[in-house]
Amino acid sequence: MSARATSEAILEATEAWFRRQGIPHLIEDYSTRRDILTRTLPFLMAVLALEVLFNFSPAWPWWANALSIVGAMVALTAVWMGINALRRRKLLSMPEQVGAVEVLVFLLTAPALNGLIWGAWTDAALVLGMNVLLLLGAYLTVGFALVPILRWGARRLVRDMLDVLGLFARALPLLLMFLTFLFINAEVWQVAGTIDYGILGALIGLFALVTAAFLVFRLPLELSNLAIFERPERVLELVEGTPAAGLVNSSESLKLDAPLRRGQWANVGLVVLVALALRVVFVSALVGVFFFVFGAIAMDSSTIASWTQSDPRVLLDLEWLGRAVTVELLQVAAFLASFSGFYFTISILTNREYRDEFFEEVVGDARRALAVRSVYLGALAQREEDRS
């Protein structure tokens, strides 16, 4: 294999590595039409087919419903073949790129059928709104590689679980003492244990929203200098073990200060945000399990009844312990767990000791990806020079 072919293969491997890490926006010339919308096409086609197949009325005879469905499928196929004919492709071929026409076909076909066949223009508007949301969700999921990000974050969490547990043991002793005091306080049980599920969910959502807002506003400041490398040796050290290691010809070819575009910053920030969020959820779950077990052992039904001033709602009777698992216990444990997640997030971003041990490790993965990008951009520039 020639040197040029080898270099092209390594560049492709590096771009695949970016996708596996959940940061496809670091790929140069990352295209909305080619790299995002086209990859969502199978999902969009499946949704459109289901919308057409369910386009029937129980009030009609079976043959009329069959004719309407067949007619809708024929019309959809005719539209697809017409688009391909206009673009000089094979009539039944899949598009290499998805453009505005294909997007409009997905958005408008089912609403038009609802309106023209059934006269249900209100339902048509609802279907159009649902299609817009589905298209936006598919775009964000594929465009920002949400599935690879979650998969990567979960793997990192499993790998670093002992470190997270160690930090948890050091960061939260005082919090656990405070929460334990609250847990055996009647007022907390009266508030968190007796409120409606919807209000409890709103309280937990409020903690999650404030935590997310804190992270979102804090991350740009924390990540602002990640893409700038002062020493080539640091870049070469970070890219070891990645496909980009095979692209390094000399330290002069590295792009040490290449600025990131807005979409690239958003993609990198999302990776860090998800990694942090998974760790916070894990820590919150630990706190919730602790208080659930503690309450199941220590709290009997009479105590819960006296604190909540109502009969406990028993979910599981633990006769061998003389205790019971109640709805009130679950609600109080969930409330305290959500508060602990908020506290833990603030601690790892503001406390220097916890930050060095926890946050810097998460950011380190993003720094490594940006080091790979420095090598990758240098290789692309070298390729353009060779071609010219």
Structure tokens at 358: 């926890």
Average pLDDT rounded to a whole number, residues 252-276: 79
- In angstroms, the CA 45 to CA 73 distance is 12
Structure tokens at 250: 């000399």
- pLDDT of 308 reads 84
Quick one: pLDDT band at residue 71, thresholds 50, 70, 90?
confident
The number of C-alpha atoms within 13 Å of 301 and in the hemisphere containing its C-beta is 16
Span of 128-132, 236-240, 245-249, 275-279 with lowest mean pLDDT: 245-249
- pLDDT of 20 reads 83
- pLDDT of 43 reads 81
* Selected residue with higher pLDDT from 324 and 18: 18
- In angstroms, the CA 152 to CA 157 distance is 9
Quick one: pLDDT band at residue 381, thresholds 50, 70, 90?
confident
- pLDDT of 15 reads 83
- Closest C-alpha to 146, from 274, 265, 54, 29: 274
Which tens digits make up the pLDDT trace of 93-108?
Answer: 666 667 777 777 778 8
Q: How many residues does the chain have?
A: 388
Cα torsion angle, 302, 306, 310, 313, sign: negative
Structure tokens at 171: 């960061």
Average pLDDT rounded to a whole number, residues 209-221: 82
Show the 3-state SS of the chain. CCHHHHHHHHHHHHHHHHHHCCCHHHCCCCCHHHHHHHHHHHHHHHHHHHHHHCCCCCCCCHHHHHHHHHHHHHHHHHHHHHHHHHCCCCCCCCCCCCCHHHHHHHHHHHHHHHHHHHCCHHHHHHHHHHHHHHHHHHHHHHHCCHHHHHHHHHHHHHHCHHHHHHHHHHHCHHHHHHHHHHHCCHHHHHHHCCCCHHHHHHHHHHHHHHHHHHHHHHHHHHHCCCCCCCCHHHHHHHCCCCHHHHHCCCHHHCCCCCCCCHHHHHHHHHHHHHHHHHHHHHHHHHHHHHHHHHHHHHCCHHHHHHHHCCCCCEEEEECCCCEEEEHHHHHHHHHHHHHHHHHHHHHHHHCHHHHHHHHHHHHHHHHHHHHHHHHHHHHHHHHHHHHC
Residue type, 279: R
- In angstroms, the CA 115 to CA 103 distance is 19
Residue 251 has pLDDT above 60, yes or no: no
Identify the burial level of 155 via C-beta atoms within 10 angstroms of its C-beta, where 0-12 means exposed, 13-18 middle and 19 or more buried: exposed
- Closest C-alpha to 102, from 146, 40, 145: 40
